[in-house]
Amino acid sequence: MIGKGIASRSSSLKLTVVSGIIKQLGTPVSRQVRAYSRENGSLLESTNSDENGQYKMYLPYGLAYTIVSIDSNKKFNAVIQDNVVPK
């Protein structure tokens, strides 16, 4: 589960910070997290959440994103948060 995601803008660097907490059955977990451009599907960034489930990515400013969390153990399906738009 991608929970409590935060998207904020940093206009001076022309980057956007997207962050959140990855949970599995309500428990924070370390998982791979990927950000894709919603416009064309290109992979923009990949990171891993820490042991507390927290992740942060610096992404190009002014785009909508699709955020995907992947369970490398293949016991759970990927979790997708679509149309993430910084406010």
Task: Work out the mean pLDDT of the chain and round it to a whole number.
Answer: 88
d(C-alpha 56, C-alpha 35), whole Å:
11
Residue 18 has pLDDT above 50, yes or no: yes
What is the reported pTM?
0.81
d(C-alpha 58, C-alpha 74), whole Å:
27
Residue 11 has pLDDT above 90, yes or no: no
Residue 8 has pLDDT above 60, yes or no: no
d(C-alpha 11, C-alpha 32), whole Å:
27
Bridge partners (DSSP) of residue 18 are: 7, 57
| The 3-state secondary structure of 50-84, one letter per residue | CCCCEEEEEEECCCCEEEEEECCCCCCCCEEEEEE
Number of domains the chain contains: 1
Residue 64 lies in a domain: yes
Residue 3 lies in a domain: no
User: In this predicted model, what pLDDT tens digit does every residue of 34-67 receive, in sequence order?
Assistant: 999 999 999 999 999 999 999 999 999 889 999 9
Helix, strand, coil % (nearest 5) of the chain? Answer: 0, 60, 40
Residue 4 lies in a domain: no
Residue 52 lies in a domain: yes
